[in-house]
């Protein structure tokens, strides 16, 4: 079909990017490279010494001189941080033209404040470590992060890095427009935090806002504003851990008459395989979530979930490929 | 009358001592730091009239305030350094280093252990809380770290980055063993020197009111590594060799000891501290495809040879040295390393030589307690003997 195809005018100075990646992120790296002939995958030897410390080698290190270089990282657990950090600290000093760190999911993001003296805000530790990336000939490192948990965290970084805060919401919007019942979609936020983060990006949809309310010793989810009756409600949040909050929201929305409930989170953390409680069972039992959309920012989870309903993976590859051109 | 001057919040107490203290006319040379022990106030004071400073603990039963009756407790061990200069240090530690931290605190009354709650969130990331954070304001604070594997670095780093910003008067990071130390150079472009990564991370510790953080580490692998650190950190390079020397002097055959270095690197690091012993230097020589250990200088014949190096991994190098020394007539062979890394339980290859068979066993294998996980495994298992860094660290904390 020829009509409707847009021709993108190629900018004369579009950058060639050499993309390194950690082992966990190989699938996403390949998808990013497929988006554009300008993005070329490079490799690192990831080995360990007997004492557990990393034994790393950047292949073809001299070739990257004068090139724009990027590293696709994934800090899925504290244990993998040091090896990736060693590469991240080394690459900018190999006479590259510029360095970009793509860290789709910034972990520790929900531990970013001190409510009492003695609290240790590990998001600050993480931001500090990343702020210490050496500058390269291209100046400060660009740091690409999707849907960071707290909006204030942009100020945790020093001037030696340039954080670029992206979002997965456009992927959701595109997907929602493809649904047959797209006119009946209502967006729900599980709490005010999620509303603050996302309502501006989704303001053309009717909205519902939930809230956690204290009743005695318990905290229960209530509907604060909006009306889900008869609609396909899509709960939107930045991340999911065990999924408890989402499940409670779904119950309240269903009780208020939502005809279908789906969910979108950018980051599926799902520790200890907690995604299993969402899987559709083939025993005819009622399906709580019609769709559960998430991105491939957390590669280990995405690998474990595979293609199982209701999960659908919306890939960040296209968005990352574009961000690398900035 | 003894006027007791102390830190807030308690008001000054005046109390009289019965003889014989009155005749000594003690003078106080320290501001006293009272700490509550249930119903009693406990003061430590220094009596200097007789030239030899002695520390006494004085316990006041607060139920008898406003005229508390002091009870003199036994004098605590005299410190070799003048208590006049003792700075009180709040010592935090991680789970792995608890035993060493307790030993350090036992070395000096000026060192007080503090606790941190170490928990994990479901996603594996740390959930940490520094108890009594306000209580450390204005205090000298130290943290005893141990980076035994990459996985434990992030949680300890979070505490290390947080402590200096809690209005403390100074911060010291004690990291007895600096891992990655052997990966400190780029032989070809593409090599990643993880020692540089670690030095960079540590150089980024926030400064505190006491200025740059002091970093105490023992027998760092490569002497050039001191220059890997930025200006916001003051590395203090200490050594475990004095512990070895003290131990060697206790041996019945202490006048028959020779020191052997497995390679030139070890010789460069340690020969100056061990000058008064006869020396043997080994070297790895290429013969065809193989690399074998040879004796480069010195003669082990009839001697009790102690192989000295900074660390041991699998132990392969030590074992080859041992064989060469035995075949050249060493009567007994022992080994000393500051850091017993021993991945994958490789310490099991070292058996004890109970007499006459130095090719197959060691008389002693000394390690320090810089690598706490190993210490747990080899404690009380001959030929291993653990020499503790506690006293050395306690002294360094006073710098």
Coil, strand or helix at B383: coil
Both tokens of residue A258?
Answer: 């939502």
Q: What is the mean pLDDT of residues B252-269?
A: 94
DSSP string, B146-184: --SSGGGHHHHHHHHHHGGGSS-SEEEEE-SS-TTTT--
With cut-offs at 50, 70 and 90, classify the pLDDT of residue A284. Answer: low
Please determine, for residue B38, whether its predicted confidence score (pLDDT) is greater than 90: no
User: Is pLDDT at A79 greater than 90 in this prediction?
Assistant: yes
In the predicted structure, residue B160 carries a pLDDT above the cut 60 = yes
Look at residue B48 and tell me whether its pLDDT is greater than 60.
no
- Percentage above 90 pLDDT, chain B: 67
CA terminus-to-terminus distance, chain B: 34
Q: Above 80 in pLDDT, residue B2?
A: no
Predicted confidence band of residue A83 (pLDDT cuts 50, 70, 90): very high
How would residue B222 be classed by pLDDT, with cut points 50, 70 and 90?
Answer: confident
User: Residue B192: is its pLDDT beyond 80?
Assistant: yes
pLDDT tens, position by position, B365-391: 999 999 999 999 999 999 999 999 999
Helix pair B153-162, A122-131: axis angle to 10 deg: 90
B79-90 pLDDT, tens digit per residue, is 444 455 688 999
pLDDT digits (tens, 9 = 90+) for A3-20: 445 545 545 458 999 999
Strand arrangement, sheet containing B70-76: B35-37, B40-47, B54-61, B70-76
Q: What is the pLDDT of residues B296-322, one digit of tens each?
A: 999 999 999 999 999 999 999 999 999
| Mutate which: B150, B177, B198, vs A, most A CBs within 10 A | B150
Say how many CA atoms lie within 13 Å of B110 toward its Cβ: 26
User: Does A132 contact B201 at a Cβ distance shorter than 8 Å?
Assistant: yes
Chain B residue numbers with beta carbons less than 8 Å from the beta carbon of A54 are: 150, 192, 194
pLDDT at residue number B226: 77
At B19 the pLDDT is 39
pLDDT value of residue B78:
38
Q: What is the mean pLDDT of chain A?
A: 91
ipTM for the whole complex: 0.85
Which member of A53, A94, A129 has the closest CB to residue B194? A53
Stretch among A110-124, A242-256, B54-68 having the lowest mean pLDDT: B54-68
Q: Is the model's pLDDT at A52 over the cut of 90? A: yes
Nearest to A158 by CA among B288, B206, B188: B206
Q: CB neighbours of B319 closer than 8 A, spacing ≥ 6?
A: B349, B350
Which carries the bigger pLDDT value, residue A216 or residue B94? B94
Instruction: Indicate the pLDDT class of residue B24, thresholds 50, 70 and 90.
Output: very low
pLDDT tens per residue, range B97-109: 999 999 999 999 9
* Smallest CA–CA distance from A122 into chain B, residue: B158
Nearest CA in chain B to A46: B192
Q: What is the pLDDT of residue A218?
A: 82
How many C-alpha atoms does B216 have within 13 Å on its Cβ side?
23
pLDDT tens digits, one per residue of A151-162: 777 788 988 999
**Which of A111, A125, A130, A132 to probe by mutation at the B interface, max B CB count within 10 Å?**
A125
Give the pLDDT score at B54. 45
Helix locations, chain B, DSSP H = 21-24, 98-107, 153-162, 194-203, 241-250, 264-270, 316-327, 372-378, 390-396
The pLDDT value given to residue B55: 44
Q: Does A240 touch chain B (CB under 8 A)?
A: no
Residue B17: per-residue pLDDT: 39
pLDDT at B53 over 50: no
Percentage with pLDDT > 70 across chain B:
79
Q: What is the pTM of this model?
A: 0.82
pLDDT of residue A16: 96
| Terminal alpha carbon distance of chain A | 31
Find the closest chain A residue to B313 by CA distance.
A51
Residue of chain B whose Cα is closest to the Cα of A241: B123
Q: What is chain A's alpha carbon radius of gyration, rounded to the nearest angstrom? A: 21
B313: closest CA of chain A, how far (Å):
7
pLDDT of residue A121: 87
Q: What is the pLDDT of residue A285?
A: 67
Is A158 near chain B, with CB under 8 Å? no
- Does residue B35 surpass a pLDDT of 60? no
What are the E-state strand segments in A118-231?
Answer: 141-146, 161-166, 185-189, 207-215, 218-225
Q: Hey, of A94, A106, A117, A245, which one would you mutate to test binding to chain B, going by the most B CBs within 10 A of its CB? A: A117
Nearest by CB to A119, from B129, B157, B183: name it: B129
Distance from CA of residue B154 to its chain's centroid?
22
Which of A100-104, A146-150, B36-40, B131-135 has the least mean pLDDT? B36-40
B54-69 tens-digit pLDDT: 444 444 444 544 444 4
Give the tens place of pLDDT for each residue, B196-211: 999 999 999 999 999 9
Q: Please give the average per-residue pLDDT across A224-243, as a whole number.
A: 95
Position A64 confidence tier, pLDDT thresholds 50, 70, 90: very high
pLDDT for B228: 81
Mean pLDDT of A38-42: 97
Task: Check if the beta carbon of residue B248 is closer than 8 Å to that of residue B295.
Answer: no
pLDDT grade, residue B289 (50/70/90)?
A: confident
pLDDT score for A181: 94
CA distance A302 to A275: 10
A118 close to B (CB below 8 A): yes
* Nearest residue in chain B measured CA to CA from A123: B158
Interval A291-318 mean pLDDT: 96
State whether residue A281 sits within 8 Å of chain B by CB.
no
Phi, psi of A190 (to 5 degrees): -70, -20
The verdict on a CB contact (< 8 Å) between A57 and B191 is: yes
Contacts of B168 in chain A (CB under 8 A): none
- The whole-number average pLDDT for the span A37-46 is 97
SS3 A77: coil
Min distance B121 CA to chain A CA atoms (Å):
9
Q: Do B151 and A241 touch (CB under 8 A)?
A: no
pLDDT for the residue numbered A108: 87
C-beta atoms of A117 and B166 within 8 A? yes
Q: Is the pLDDT of residue B230 over 90?
A: no
Residue B329 CB contacts under 8 Å (≥ 6 apart), including other chains = B300, B301, B302
Q: What is the pLDDT of residue B49?
A: 41
């Amino acid at each position: 079909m020829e009509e409707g195809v847009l021709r993108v005018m190629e900018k004369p100075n579009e950058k060639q990017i050499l993309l390194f990646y950690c082992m966990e992120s190989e699938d996403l790296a390949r998808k990013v490279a497929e988006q554009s002939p300008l993005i070329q995958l490079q490799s690192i030897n990831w080995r360990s010494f007997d004492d557990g410390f990393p034994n790393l080698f950047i292949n073809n290190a001299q070739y990257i001189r004068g090139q724009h270089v990027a590293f696709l990282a994934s800090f899925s657990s504290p244990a993998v941080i040091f090896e990736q950090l060693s590469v991240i600290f080394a690459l900018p000093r190999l006479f590259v033209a510029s360095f970009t760190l793509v860290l789709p999911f910034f972990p520790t993001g929900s531990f970013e404040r001190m409510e009492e003296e003695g609290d240790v805000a590990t998001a600050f530790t993480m931001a500090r470590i990343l702020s210490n990336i050496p500058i390269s000939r291209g100046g400060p490192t660009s740091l690409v992060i999707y849907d960071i948990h707290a909006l204030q965290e942009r100020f945790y970084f020093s001037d030696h890095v340039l954080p670029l805060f992206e979002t997965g919401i456009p992927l959701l919007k595109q997907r929602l427009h493809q649904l047959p019942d797209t006119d009946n979609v209502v967006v729900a936020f599980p709490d005010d935090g999620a509303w603050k983060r996302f309502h501006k990006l989704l303001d053309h949809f009717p909205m519902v806002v939930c809230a956690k309310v204290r009743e005695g010793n318990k905290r229960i989810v209530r509907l604060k504003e909006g009306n889900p009756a008869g609609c396909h409600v899509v709960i939107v949040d930045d991340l999911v851990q065990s999924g408890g909050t989402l499940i409670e929201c779904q119950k309240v929305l269903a009780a208020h008459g939502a005809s279908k409930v789906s969910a979108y989170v950018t980051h599926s953390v799902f520790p200890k395989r907690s995604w299993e409680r969402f899987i559709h069972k083939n025993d005819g039992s009622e399906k709580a979530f019609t769709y559960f959309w998430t991105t491939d920012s957390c590669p280990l989870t995405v690998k474990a979930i595979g293609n199982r309903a209701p999960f659908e993976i919306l890939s960040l590859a296209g968005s990352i490929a574009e961000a690398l051109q900035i | 009358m003894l006027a007791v001057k102390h830190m807030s919040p308690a008001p000054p107490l005046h109390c009289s001592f019965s003889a014989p203290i009155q005749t000594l006319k003690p003078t106080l040379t320290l501001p006293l730091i009272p700490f509550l022990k249930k119903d009693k106030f406990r003061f430590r004071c220094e009596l200097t009239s007789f030239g030899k400073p002695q520390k006494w603990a004085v316990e006041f039963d607060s139920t008898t305030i406003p005229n508390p009756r002091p009870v003199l407790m036994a004098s605590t061990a005299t410190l070799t350094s003048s208590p006049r200069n003792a700075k009180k240090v709040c010592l935090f530690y991680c789970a792995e280093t608890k035993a060493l931290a307790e030993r350090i605190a036992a070395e000096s009354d000026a060192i007080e252990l503090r606790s941190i709650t170490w928990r994990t969130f479901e996603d594996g990331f740390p959930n940490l809380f520094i108890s009594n954070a306000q209580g450390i304001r204005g205090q000298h604070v130290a943290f005893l770290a141990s980076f035994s594997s990459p996985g434990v670095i992030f949680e300890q780093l979070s505490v290390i980055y947080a402590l200096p910003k809690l209005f403390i008067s100074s911060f010291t990071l004690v990291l007895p063993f600096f891992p990655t130390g052997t990966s400190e150079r780029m032989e070809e472009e593409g090599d990643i020197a993880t020692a540089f990564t670690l030095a960079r991370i540590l150089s980024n510790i926030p400064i505190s009111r006491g200025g740059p953080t002091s970093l105490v580490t023992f027998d760092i692998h490569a002497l050039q590594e001191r220059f890997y650190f930025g200006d916001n950190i003051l590395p203090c390079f200490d050594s475990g060799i004095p512990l070895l020397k003290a131990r060697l002097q206790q041996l019945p055959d202490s006048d028959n000891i020779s020191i052997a270095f497995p390679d030139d690197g070890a010789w460069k690091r340690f020969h100056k501290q061990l000058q008064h012993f006869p020396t043997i230097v080994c070297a790895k020589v290429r013969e065809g495809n193989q690399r074998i250990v040879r004796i480069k200088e010195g003669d082990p014949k009839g001697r009790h040879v102690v192989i000295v190096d900074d660390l041991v991994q699998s132990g392969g190098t030590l074992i080859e040295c041992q064989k060469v020394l035995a075949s050249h007539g060493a009567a007994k062979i022992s080994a000393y390393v500051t850091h017993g890394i021993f991945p994958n339980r490789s310490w099991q290859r070292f058996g004890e030589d109970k007499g006459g068979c130095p090719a197959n066993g060691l008389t002693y294998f000394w390690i320090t307690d810089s690598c706490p996980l190993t210490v747990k495994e080899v404690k009380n298992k001959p030929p291993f003997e653990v020499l503790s860094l506690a006293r050395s660290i306690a002294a360094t904390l006073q710098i």
